[in-house]
Amino acid sequence: MRAEIIAVGSELLSLGRPETDSLYISSKLKTLGIDVLRKFVVGDREQELTESLSLALKRSDVVTITGGLGPTNDDITREVVARFLGKELREDQKILDDLQRRYERFGLKLTPNNRKQAMVPDGAEVLPNPHGTAPGLFLKVADGLLFLLPGPPRELCPMVERHVLTIIRRYKQVNPVPFRQLKVGGEAESRVDARIESIYKEYRDVETTILSSPGVISLYFMWKGGPDLEAADQVLDELSDRVKERLGKSVYSNREEELAEVVGRLLKGRSLTVATAESCTGGLIGKLLTDVSGSSAYYLGSIVSYSNSVKAELLGVPHELLQLDGAVSEPVARQMAIGVRGKLGSDVGLSVTGIAGPGGGTEKKPVGTIWLGLSIKDRTKARSLLLPGGREAVRLRTSNLALDWLRREIL
């Protein structure tokens, strides 16, 4: 089973806007055993869209087109595809009613441009979009399945999960490729690879991939050994168990989930509340924790002490400490954790202070120097990090390493 992906939007070509929809779609198709053979990114122009579509439909079982379904003049996907397939567009009353209601709810009126979004090519199946105005469309083209999907990820992703995968299963015999996944916190990619290389190299029927983002590493083990699924499960379980054992506490999940979700589940399970005291991360740790809906059950809040006066007055860090040891130091990190725990009345206090750069580094404390503090029960700990990367990477890595430390401490 093969797929090709077409992303439409001049902004993806000219304005440095990275194209991410295809990454999501590929990963979902993969769960059905469908390989993506090729991606096209085209502008809002008929010629390249038509050419790419024609090429894609020639050999692939599934073709997706994302983007270009909006209400503006440069949204051409619907019209171009209809023309290419020789199909008429007709106005769909149900879509129109939905649009009307949606606009009214936000106090807006439907413009003629908006009505474009209610146009549907003959024979297309409409895929509802509860998160936006552009419904998706599905068309069967000879033996191929063609999906027109909205570009914004929050509209696209639920539509793929709910409709696209279901429709593919309806028409095609799918052969999901067995795989295992492990998420690893608190370690560098090269170190993880060095630790597990000798294990995964033993498995010829498994393709191992290591993907890293600041502070978090994903391991994928994909089965490449043919149709014997029983063997696949056995081999994959064995490999992933061995890797898990080797990496120990560093493995925080065996599925796609964020560190903050796992930390939240642990806190909830142990009936612990946490509060954070952030300096160089400026609120990012709180942001990550509250990305998880329902986090109010265990997250009380944060004191973002970007200035030293806030560290002193709200977190009780003595002025002398700040002057003597500097804001980025072990005793300050410790007191920040103790201070925020006391001030907010949480069971756990987690703190971070550091130099995210590009300025502010010194010879003794270069950019990337970080102190983390953790206060829990009757003990308070601190640890230091020296992190590579630019400001953004340092801040994200710091936040993930802080969350991962919290996770290990309450395991």
Residues 143-162 that bind its own copies (CB under 8 A): 154
Residue 83 interacting with its own copies (CB under 8 A): no
358: cis peptide before it, omega within 30°?
A: yes
291, 318, 319, 362: which one binds its own copies (CB under 8 A): 291
Q: How many residues does the chain have?
A: 411
Smallest gap, in angstroms, from Cβ of residue 191 to its own copies?
8
Smallest gap, in angstroms, from Cβ of residue 72 to its own copies?
6
Non-local (6+) Cβ contacts of 354 within 8 A are 279, 280, 281, 328, 368, 369, 370, 371, 385, 394, 398
CA distance 113 to 115: 5
- Closest alpha carbon to 56 in 141, 125, 117: 141
**What part of residues 37-76 is at the interface with its own copies (CB under 8 A)?**
37-43, 45, 48, 51-52, 55, 71-72, 74
Using CB under 8 A, which of the segments 119-127, 159-167, 277-285, 328-336 binds its own copies?
Answer: 277-285
CA distance 304 to 288: 14
Smallest gap, in angstroms, from Cβ of residue 169 to its own copies?
20
Residue 138 interacting with its own copies (CB under 8 A): no
Q: Choose between 211 and 324: whose C-beta lies nearer to its own copies.
A: 211
Residue with tokens 């474009």: 116
64, 77, 240, 302: which one binds its own copies (CB under 8 A): 302
* Token pair in block for residue 305: 């002490």
Backbone angles phi and psi of 385, in degrees to 5: -130, 155
Using CB under 8 A, which of the segments 87-95, 137-145, 238-246, 342-350 binds its own copies?
Answer: 342-350
1, 141, 199, 210: which one binds its own copies (CB under 8 A): 210
Non-local (6+) Cβ contacts of 124 within 8 A are 87, 137, 138, 139
**What part of residues 211-240 is at the interface with its own copies (CB under 8 A)?**
211, 218, 220, 222
123, 176, 318, 358: which one binds its own copies (CB under 8 A): 358
**What part of residues 176-205 is at the interface with its own copies (CB under 8 A)?**
190, 193-194
33, 128, 225, 283: which one binds its own copies (CB under 8 A): 283
* Token pair in block for residue 382: 């601190």
391, 408, 409, 410: which one binds its own copies (CB under 8 A): 391
Backbone angles phi and psi of 280, in degrees to 5: -65, -25
Mask for 88-127, x = binds its own copies (CB under 8 A): ------------------x-x--x--x-------------
CA-to-CA separations, 259 to 166, 218, 281, in angstroms, rounded: 29, 11, 17
Non-local (6+) Cβ contacts of 339 within 8 A are 277, 303, 314, 315, 316, 317, 349
Q: Choose between 299 and 405: whose C-beta lies nearer to its own copies.
A: 299
Instruction: Determine the size of the site formed for its own copies (CB under 8 A).
Output: 93
Using CB under 8 A, which of the segments 29-37, 225-233, 264-272, 331-339 binds its own copies?
Answer: 29-37
Mask for 244-273, x = binds its own copies (CB under 8 A): ------------------------------
In angstroms, how far is CA 325 from the centroid of its own chain?
Answer: 38
261, 278, 347, 404: which one binds its own copies (CB under 8 A): 278
Pairing between β-strand 274-278 and β-strand 125-127 as defined by DSSP bridges = unpaired
